[in-house]
Amino acid sequence: MTSIAQAFAGKKALITYLAAGDPDLETTAFLLKLLDREGVDLLEVGIPFSDPLADGPVIQQAGQRALSGGATLKKILALLKTLAPEISAPRVLMGYMNSLIAYGLEAFADDSAAAGVSGVIVPDLPFHQSEELASLLKERDMDFILMVTPNTTDKRLKAIAEKASGFLYCVSTLGVTGDSANAGTPLKEYTDRVRSITSLPLALGFGVNSPEKARLAAEAADGVVVGSALISLLEPCGTNLECLEKKAVPFLRSLQPSLQPGSGLVK
């Protein structure tokens, strides 16, 4: 398996987000293998939760479909463990603290490591209250990935960067996932400020839904996260694997040239 550091090495990383279990776990397994085959550099796997705080309507609805279909954290980790020999891209779990507490933090860390998970993102866990989880992950060679926003102060940025590992997830707007309407600070100005404080790779997410937006994000950051746009594209297919492939492959291939040097904006 490629490490998170290798996913960012010498290139702009394409990162995709899927809600695990949407619409069922078998379809998720198919999609994760498809994304890996198509050259996605890092696979972000969402743990569905009933009351997500950072997710917009598209991912909220995906999470609800997954929960209705019976997805649980235990089943998701079992699926990732089964898939581990078949997927080379690193897998990162993204979920909310209630799910992890209900599972048990040490058990979660143990089972995530056994499933080949490379890192964990917990949007609702304040970094100054994250020592226990961060330590459990570090002991098992998993990265603790933290988020920053355009209005994060320099002092707080420094504190977050000191605790984070793997990469920093730079939320590009002040809205929720899939929201590109609340853009404020220019992306390059934002990421330049973050780079002045940390040497960790930076991934930009929230609102990337086209090759042009991917180019703009790649000019500013080391990785580009695509979530809501991919889920919206695939949702009408349901469990039709042929439809999913016909929708996903052209979309991914339309984004990848935007992340290459010489695409017009990427340096």
CATH of residue 208: 3.20.20.70
Residue 44 annotated as catalytic:
yes
Question: Domain for residue 267, yes or no?
Answer: no
CA dihedral 73, 79, 80, 81 (to 10 degrees): 110
- Residue 264's region, left for phi above 0, alpha for psi from -120 to 50, else beta, is left
Q: Which of the listed ranges 22-36, 53-67, 118-132 does the model predict with the highest average pLDDT? A: 22-36
Check 41, 44, 143, 219 and give the catalytic one. 44
What pLDDT was estimated at residue 2? 82
In angstroms, the first-to-last Cα distance of the chain is 28
Catalytic residue among 36, 41, 55, 219: 55
Q: Which of 232, 179, 209, 178 is nearest to 62 (CA)?
A: 232
Q: Which domain holds residue 116?
A: 4-259
Residue 202 is assigned to a structural domain of this protein: yes
Considering the domain boundaries, does residue 58 fall inside one?
yes
Residue 161 identity: A
Alpha carbon separation from 148 to 48, 57, 121, 164, 207 (Å, rounded): 22, 21, 12, 11, 15
Q: In the chain, how many domains are there?
A: 1
Residue 170 within any structural domain of the chain: yes
Any domain includes 237: yes
* 265 falls within a domain: no
- Report yes or no on 208 lying in a domain: yes
Which one has a higher pLDDT value, 174 or 225? 225
Q: At what angle do helices 154-163 and 187-195 cross, to 10 degrees?
A: 60
Q: pTM of the predicted model, to two decimals?
A: 0.92
Q: What percent of the chain lies above the pLDDT cut of 90? A: 81
Please write the tens of the pLDDT for every residue from 180-207.
444 456 889 999 999 999 999 999 987 8
Tokens encoding 53 = 């705080």
Q: Quick check: is 167 in a domain?
A: yes
Please give the average per-residue pLDDT across 149-164, as a whole number: 94
55 annotated active-site: yes
Tell me which of 155 and 180 has the higher pLDDT.
Answer: 155
Q: Is 217 exposed, middle or buried (0-12, 13-18, 19+ CB in 10 A)?
A: buried
